[in-house]
Amino acid sequence: MSNLVTISVEFSFKGKVHRPSVEVQLDRYIKSGTYPDFHQLIAENNAFDLYSYEYEMIQAAPILYSNAEGLVTEFISEGVLNFKLFELAWHENKIQQELDVLVQDSGMESLKTNHTLRELLLKAYQLGLKQSE
């Protein structure tokens, strides 16, 4: 599942309202574990000089999240993205997809219908993570 979202800021400069935005694919950032400076990303993708007063205004403005697609839609409220909860859900969803593939390959019934097996496999996975630390 792809998690696309439009990030934007709104600011006024010299009597003009600016609403620069850029669409970002969040999955690649979660996979890498690092996020870019979204303010800088907005500025660069909208031809704002990083050494300008406009860029300072961009940095001071809160980032707004909109036009989301995928799992991320559940974690945006009034333009604010709860990154922590989204990231947790993303990782859990990824694990679930991997477990679904294992179950399908084994010929067992779907984890969507067998909740006990799903919970057991998730606990086993989490136990394995703890053991590897």
Domain boundaries, the chain: 4-81, 90-132
DSSP letter for 14, please.
T
Contact call for residues 54 and 17 (beta carbons, < 8 A): no
Summarised one tens digit per residue, pLDDT across range 13-58 is 999 999 999 999 999 999 998 999 999 999 999 999 999 999 999 9
* Dist CA 64 CA 52 (whole Å): 21
Tokens of 32: 């890498």
Q: How many CA atoms lie within 13 A of 6 on its CB side?
A: 7
Summarised one tens digit per residue, pLDDT across range 97-125 is 888 787 777 777 666 677 777 777 777 77
Contact call for residues 111 and 88 (beta carbons, < 8 A): no
* Dist CA 3 CA 85 (whole Å): 14
